[in-house]
Amino acid sequence: IGNYSIKGMINYKEAFIFSKSFPQTIKSNNARLTFKNNEIVLNRLELQSEKSDCVLTGIISTSKDQQNKNQINGSLHLISNNMNYNELYNTYLGGSSNSSDNNEEINMLIKNYNNMFNNKNTSKELKSDAKQEKHPIYIPKNINLDIQTSVNNMDYNDINLQNANGNIIIKNEEVFRWS
């Protein structure tokens, strides 16, 4: 966003988000985003992926750091009714979705997207936990985010958490959680 003069607003209902590094379908039911030069205001961004849902509000902006490199800064509020950490993390590790979605149109879009960027077919089945190599999630050093969270139900490993509230700070390639 930094080098261009961008101003405007986007409103939409029902969009699908695809990513090479996170091949689980993300559905955005409703969004209202405002663009002002070097910042994006998330007036409301509703997301759903499998058993997880959230609503994001807040501001994300770009700036230059002391070495004149691009920096991404943000202050977000994340509200979720259900967050299934296990499912999201395993999709990230396994490189494919665990979706049981039988919608042929969406499945065809995913297959076409994967073929276009990976030049190969991808299975919709996750690798078994025994075959998955666990590794840390890379966090770029140019990201500084403060995310206030409010999660009603969270599945985290073998623990079901209720009313998980607090702040997550992402800064200097590290993640911190403050209650």
- Top-confidence residue, 138 or 97: 138
Q: In Å, how far are 2, 13, 145 from 80, measured between CA atoms? A: 30, 19, 18
Mean pLDDT of 28-39: 92
* Of residues 24, 26, 149, 153, the one with CA closest to residue 82: 153
**Lowest mean pLDDT segment, chosen from 15-19, 140-144, 155-159, 175-179:** 175-179
Mean pLDDT of 90-112: 58
Q: How sure is the predictor about 108, in pLDDT bands with cuts at 50, 70 and 90?
A: low
- Top-confidence residue, 92 or 76: 76
> Which residues are within 8 A (CB) of 169 and not within 5 positions of it... i.e. 6 or more apart?
145, 146, 147, 175, 176, 177, 178
* Of residues 90, 76, 86, the one with CA closest to residue 47: 76
pLDDT of residue 4: 67
Torsion of CA 125, 51, 170, 94, to 10 degrees: -10
Question: What does the alpha-carbon distance between residue 110 and residue 106 come to, in Å, rounded to a whole number?
Answer: 6
pLDDT of residue 131: 53
DSSP collapsed to 3 states, 143-156 = EEEEEEEEEEEEEE
CB contact at 8 A, 28 and 42: no
Encoding tokens for residue 161? 């958490």
Q: What percentage of the chain carries pLDDT values higher than 70?
A: 71
**Lowest mean pLDDT segment, chosen from 28-37, 96-105, 131-140:** 96-105
Q: How sure is the predictor about 48, in pLDDT bands with cuts at 50, 70 and 90?
A: very high
Q: How sure is the predictor about 148, in pLDDT bands with cuts at 50, 70 and 90?
A: very high
CB contact at 8 A, 36 and 133: no
E-assigned strands of the chain?
7-17, 26-36, 39-49, 52-64, 70-84, 143-156, 159-171, 174-178
- Top-confidence residue, 179 or 53: 53
